[in-house]
Chains A and B, each alone.
Chain A
Amino acid sequence: NAGVMQNPRHLVRRRGQEARLRCSPMKGHSHVYWYRQLPEEGLKFMVYLQKENIIDESGMPKERFSAEFPKEGPSILRIQQVVRGDSAAYFCASSPLPGLAGLYEQYFGPGTRLTVT
């Protein structure tokens, strides 16, 4: 049973380029979350998606960042015109459909480490 998969694991971009990060949730999970982890900082929530829907994007920067989770294929986090401050580890997590009660912990992928030069 494969876990959450993210690729690439490492990504180097020059300032001004675009970065595309991909996340495939665990089998049977329909909810995807993206988090960013800066050095010496905690994980910060960015966006929560279900298939074809953005549920909560309150943690996304207003410009240059976008996310999608299409009906088919992985979830994509896109960063346009990257700047040095975007250098961080980006983690994707997935969970099954939340119910009225229960654990429903989020399972994390291995992360994509983005370096902007």
Chain B
Amino acid sequence: GQNIDQPTEMTATEGAIVQINCTYQTSGFNGLFWYQQHAGEAPTFLSYNVLDGLEEKGRFSSFLSRSKGYSYLLLKELQMKDSASYLCAVRDRGYSTLTFGKGTMLLVSP
């Protein structure tokens, strides 16, 4: 079966760094995605990893270890607007569908 785990909630302070972990057990693997979703809005794409290692994109970085079934999203210099749900998703069936975790609700406080 497919199983993607991530923490339910996290809190952090403005200007700090936060790491959101994601572990997965899926029948196949063809890429791991991170999306950001503000309440009542559409998920927006943040990052993509298909090979092991770190991908950096401005204040956001994502890491993947395929042997461990593990990824994390690193957010630096946190801003209030980063308060949102962060969704980890694995593309496990060919090149199409995504299996999502339940999301991690991040609350950034002043």
Contacts and interface: CB of A to CB of B under 8 A. Distances in A.
Interface of A: 4, 31, 33, 35, 40-45, 48, 55-56, 59, 91, 98-99, 101, 103-111
A33 B87 contact: no
30 contacts: A31-B96, A33-B96, A33-B97, A33-B98, A40-B102, A41-B102, A42-B4, A42-B102, A42-B103, A43-B87, A43-B98, A45-B97, A48-B97, A55-B96, A56-B96, A56-B97, A91-B42, A98-B94, A98-B96, A99-B95, A105-B33, A105-B48, A106-B45, A106-B98, A107-B45, A108-B35, A109-B42, A110-B42, A111-B41, A111-B42
Given A91-B43, A103-B48, A56 B93 contact: yes
A25 to B, nearest CB: 13
A27 B40 CA distance: 24
B37 to A, nearest CB: 9
A99 B50 CA distance: 14
B106 to A, nearest CB: 15
Contact of A98 (B95, B99, B100): B95
Interface of B: 4, 31, 33, 35, 41-45, 48, 50, 87, 89, 93-103
B44 A108 contact: yes
Contacts, number: 56
Interface of B is mostly: loop
A40 B101 CA distance: 11
B100 A42 contact: yes
